[in-house]
């Protein structure tokens, strides 16, 4: 047996959690070196096991998604979880590209001796979103797909983010996208489909915030910010929720932008109301720097959604809405929910991304809902999925005769055919405890079976 030293305090302070991880690692090392067979029981850092109670809610939400989006004509597709490292590192993914779980080359392709950097070791990685794979999917399979193509994707994605409460390194994303439709009816369709879904999942009083990347750019141009600085300006603007108008002013001035520009810029946000009138104000103000169809289309999107909706939500024109990803080219949207205190989904138009794969540009617009957040909110509410049919359990005495067993299993089969959930299990010594457990799982009827 060899010994190895752990030096846990190499960096500043350690949190209790970090310390516990180091200690666990030490114990594990000692055990395994000592020949003890114990393996690691916990899931890998930042990922989680999902128990039946949560799975029931997840399955329910997934089936609601499939059926609701289905009635809007969206069709399910799937891409592999593993994607070419070149596609994942194509600069389409912004910050997420730093968080890729990379997969080692295999067999003779792995040349450890010759490798001088990480890039020499890997040829693929786990997808960090569903948009990059969708673009690849569409360019590879467009010959077999209708145009426009309305896609529904539900699948796991992975990001090696710093683990924190409620954020995991593997999580489910759920996206709808319309590919090959340049007109704004696509945006209306996505917003109505998403809000109908949220309504069916019993979410009320949320807001759909909407803006347009072209309005965002026009506002920056109108205020006289130099074009190469717009991304910086938008990063600061994006903090409006948290730091307010004064905070944004301070940060912009600190960045060295001219007082004139900053004043002109912030004046817009004071003038613009969060509704159709606000869009009209923008159209007026920005008429020299913005194609007037942009504001007209945004107005139509808001108007048609407001007049059509049956669900209980508000359409909010929010000129401060940025959405991080630089690939957006037109309207952008986000769902805000007071209950959650943040975004539970969003999307927008990204007309140029698919062209990066095909060379031929294809219009595209998508809306992603925060599946994990929705599940979390339902769990916190104590939501119970409506149970279908009765639940009955047979508890069998040990060593039942084959005849008795046949009788029980045959009866259970007949009951299942009637829609009853029937579980057959051996009778435990502590019958009361066993029945309590089964009751907690929703069983209401118990039959004890004995040989005599």
Question: How far apart (Å, rounded) are the C-alpha atoms in residues 19 and 24?
Answer: 9
Residues in region 151-190 near a copy of itself by CB under 8 A: 156, 158, 160, 169-170, 181, 183, 185, 188-189
Going from the C-alpha of 279 to that of each of 223, 298, 299, 365, the distances in angstroms are 17, 7, 6, 21
Minimum CB distance to a copy of itself, residue 12 (Å) = 14
**# residues near a copy of itself by CB under 8 A:** 116
User: Using the rule CB under 8 A, is 136 a contact of a copy of itself?
Assistant: yes
Give the torsion through C-alpha atoms of 6, 7, 11, 13, to 10 deg.
90
Three-state DSSP class for 107? Answer: helix
User: Using the rule CB under 8 A, is 199 a contact of a copy of itself?
Assistant: no
Among 260, 425, 444, 451, binds a copy of itself (CB under 8 A): 425
User: Using the rule CB under 8 A, is 115 a contact of a copy of itself?
Assistant: yes
Among 61, 174, 197, 438, binds a copy of itself (CB under 8 A): 438
Minimum CB distance to a copy of itself, residue 285 (Å) = 22
Minimum CB distance to a copy of itself, residue 242 (Å) = 28
Going from the C-alpha of 232 to that of each of 228, 238, 329, the distances in angstroms are 9, 10, 17
For a copy of itself, the closer of residues 177 and 251 by Cβ is 177
Minimum CB distance to a copy of itself, residue 96 (Å) = 14
Question: How far apart (Å, rounded) are the C-alpha atoms in residues 211 and 315?
Answer: 11
Among 147, 242, 341, 452, binds a copy of itself (CB under 8 A): 147
Stretch that binds a copy of itself, among 86-94, 233-241, 262-270, 313-321 (CB under 8 A): 86-94
- By the 8 A CB rule, do 72 and 390 touch? no
DSSP 164: B
The arrangement of strands across the sheet holding 445-449 comes to: 421-426, 391-396, 445-449
For a copy of itself, the closer of residues 182 and 239 by Cβ is 182
Among 26, 72, 230, 383, binds a copy of itself (CB under 8 A): 72
Pinpoint the alpha helices (H) of 205-328.
Answer: 213-222, 230-237, 240-254, 259-271, 276-285, 292-308
User: Using the rule CB under 8 A, is 47 a contact of a copy of itself?
Assistant: yes
User: Using the rule CB under 8 A, is 121 a contact of a copy of itself?
Assistant: yes
Question: How far apart (Å, rounded) are the C-alpha atoms in residues 332 and 322?
Answer: 8
Minimum CB distance to a copy of itself, residue 405 (Å) = 5
Question: How far apart (Å, rounded) are the C-alpha atoms in residues 190 and 194?
Answer: 6
User: Using the rule CB under 8 A, is 210 a contact of a copy of itself?
Assistant: no
Q: Which of 305, 298, 357 is nearest to 327 (CA)?
A: 357
Minimum CB distance to a copy of itself, residue 417 (Å) = 8
User: Using the rule CB under 8 A, is 428 a contact of a copy of itself?
Assistant: yes
For a copy of itself, the closer of residues 104 and 235 by Cβ is 104
Stretch that binds a copy of itself, among 44-52, 211-219, 231-239, 243-251 (CB under 8 A): 44-52
Minimum CB distance to a copy of itself, residue 440 (Å) = 8
Residues in region 388-417 near a copy of itself by CB under 8 A: 389, 391, 393, 396, 398, 400, 402, 405-406, 409-410, 413, 416-417
Residues in region 248-307 near a copy of itself by CB under 8 A: 300, 303-304, 307
For a copy of itself, the closer of residues 16 and 417 by Cβ is 417
Question: How far apart (Å, rounded) are the C-alpha atoms in residues 445 and 394?
Answer: 9
For a copy of itself, the closer of residues 253 and 427 by Cβ is 427
Question: How far apart (Å, rounded) are the C-alpha atoms in residues 157 and 275?
Answer: 35
Among 19, 55, 277, 379, binds a copy of itself (CB under 8 A): 55
Minimum CB distance to a copy of itself, residue 438 (Å) = 7
Residues in region 346-365 near a copy of itself by CB under 8 A: 356-359
Distance of CA 81 to the CA centre of its chain: 15
Among 14, 22, 110, 221, binds a copy of itself (CB under 8 A): 110
Question: How far apart (Å, rounded) are the C-alpha atoms in residues 57 and 376?
Answer: 9
266 is written with which tokens? 């912030």
- By the 8 A CB rule, do 289 and 222 touch? yes
Minimum CB distance to a copy of itself, residue 216 (Å) = 23
Element (H, E) at 125: strand 122-126
- By the 8 A CB rule, do 207 and 336 touch? yes
Q: Is the peptide bond before 382 cis (omega within 30 degrees of 0)?
A: no
Q: What mask, x for binding a copy of itself by CB under 8 A, covers residues 11 to 30? A: -----------------x--
């Amino acid at each position: 047996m060899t010994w190895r030293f752990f030096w846990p305090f190499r960096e500043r302070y350690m949190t209790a959690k970090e310390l516990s991880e180091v200690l666990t690692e030490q114990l594990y090392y000692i055990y395994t070196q000592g020949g003890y067979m114990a393996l690691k029981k916990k899931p890998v850092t930042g990922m989680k096991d999902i128990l039946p109670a949560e799975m029931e809610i997840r399955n329910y939400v997934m089936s609601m998604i499939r059926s609701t989006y289905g009635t809007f004509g969206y069709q399910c597709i799937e891409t592999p979880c593993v994607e070419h490292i070149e596609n994942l590192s194509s600069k389409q993914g912004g910050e997420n590209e730093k968080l890729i779980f990379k997969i080692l080359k295999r067999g003779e392709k792995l040349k450890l001796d010759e490798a001088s950097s990480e890039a020499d070791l890997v040829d693929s990685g786990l997808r960090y979103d569903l948009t990059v794979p969708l673009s690849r999917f569409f360019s590879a399979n467009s010959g077999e797909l209708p145009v426009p193509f309305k896609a529904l994707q539900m699948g796991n994605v992975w990001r090696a983010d710093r683990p924190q409460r409620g954020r995991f390194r593997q999580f489910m994303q759920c996206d709808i996208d319309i590919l090959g439709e340049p007109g704004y009816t696509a945006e209306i369709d996505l917003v109505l489909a998403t809000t109908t879904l949220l309504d069916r999942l019993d979410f009320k009083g949320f807001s759909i915030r909407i803006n347009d990347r072209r309005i965002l750019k026009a506002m920056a141009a109108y205020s006289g910010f130099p074009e190469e600085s717009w991304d910086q300006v938008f990063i600061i603007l994006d903090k409006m929720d948290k730091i307010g108008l004064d905070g944004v002013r301070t940060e912009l001035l600190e960045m060295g932008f001219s007082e004139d520009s900053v004043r002109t810029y912030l004046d817009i946000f004071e003038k613009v109301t969060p509704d159709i009138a606000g869009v009209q104000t923008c159209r007026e103000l920005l008429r020299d720097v913005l194609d007037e169809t942009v504001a007209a289309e945004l107005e139509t999107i808001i108007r048609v959604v407001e007049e059509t909706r049956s669900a209980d939500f508000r359409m909010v024109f929010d000129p401060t809405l940025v959405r991080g990803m630089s690939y957006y080219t037109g309207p952008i949207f986000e769902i805000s929910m007071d209950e959650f205190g943040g975004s539970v989904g969003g999307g927008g138009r990204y007309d140029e991304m698919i062209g990066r794969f095909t060379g031929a540009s294809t219009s595209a617009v998508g809306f992603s809902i925060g599946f994990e957040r929705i599940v979390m909110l339902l769990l916190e509410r104590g939501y119970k999925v409506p149970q279908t049919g009765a639940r009955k359990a047979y508890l069998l005495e040990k060593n039942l005769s084959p005849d008795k067993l046949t009788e029980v299993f045959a009866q259970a089969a007949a009951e299942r055919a009637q829609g009853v959930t029937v579980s057959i299990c051996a009778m435990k010594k502590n019958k009361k405890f066993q029945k309590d457990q089964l009751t907690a799982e929703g069983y209401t009827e118990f039959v004890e079976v004995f040989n005599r």
